């Protein structure tokens, strides 16, 4: 370092240190910004996730209700077939039969 003035060396080291600090702060700011964006996204998605979970629970209830109604429908159709059969066995013609039960 015989050709460099001590003031120039100090200035170069100071500038290098400043550059390192600026880069470190920029990286930290980027990480902080990424964290803030992630947190904001989660806050925006939470109501949607809550609504989706509520709809999932409602779908389960509705599916259960549909299964119950299908069982009841099958039971009523069996009953109608039996009653139509009894009417026919007595020598009469049923006044009404479901369309899929005729014949």
Over residues 19-33, the mean pLDDT reads: 71
Domain count, the chain: 1
CA distance 29 to 37: 12
What's the mean pLDDT when you consider all of the chain? 83
Confirm whether 102 is domain-assigned.
no
Confirm whether 44 is domain-assigned.
yes
pLDDT band at 38 (very low <50, low <70, confident <90, very high): confident
Query: Between vectors from CA 4 to CA 3 and to CA 8, what angle results, nearest 5°?
Result: 165
Over residues 64-84, the mean pLDDT reads: 96
User: What pTM was estimated for this model as a whole?
Assistant: 0.52
Confirm whether 1 is domain-assigned.
no
Digit-coded pLDDT (tens) for 48-65: 889 999 999 999 999 999
Confirm whether 103 is domain-assigned.
no
Confirm whether 30 is domain-assigned.
yes
Residue 102 pLDDT more than 70?
no
Conformational region of residue 98, where left means phi above 0, alpha means psi within -120 to 50, and beta covers everything else:
beta
List the domain range (segments joined by +) for residue 83.
6-97
């Amino acid at each position: 370092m015989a050709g460099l003035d001590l003031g120039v060396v100090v200035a170069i080291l100071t500038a290098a240190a400043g550059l390192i600090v600026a880069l470190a702060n920029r990286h930290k700011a980027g990480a902080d910004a990424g964290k803030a964006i992630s947190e904001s996204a989660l806050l925006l998605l939470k109501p949607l996730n809550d609504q989706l979970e509520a709809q999932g629970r409602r779908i389960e209830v509705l599916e259960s209700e549909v299964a119950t109604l299908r069982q009841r429908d099958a039971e009523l159709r069996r009953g109608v077939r039996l009653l139509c059969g009894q009417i026919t066995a007595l020598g009469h013609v049923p006044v009404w039969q479901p369309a899929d039960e005729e014949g």
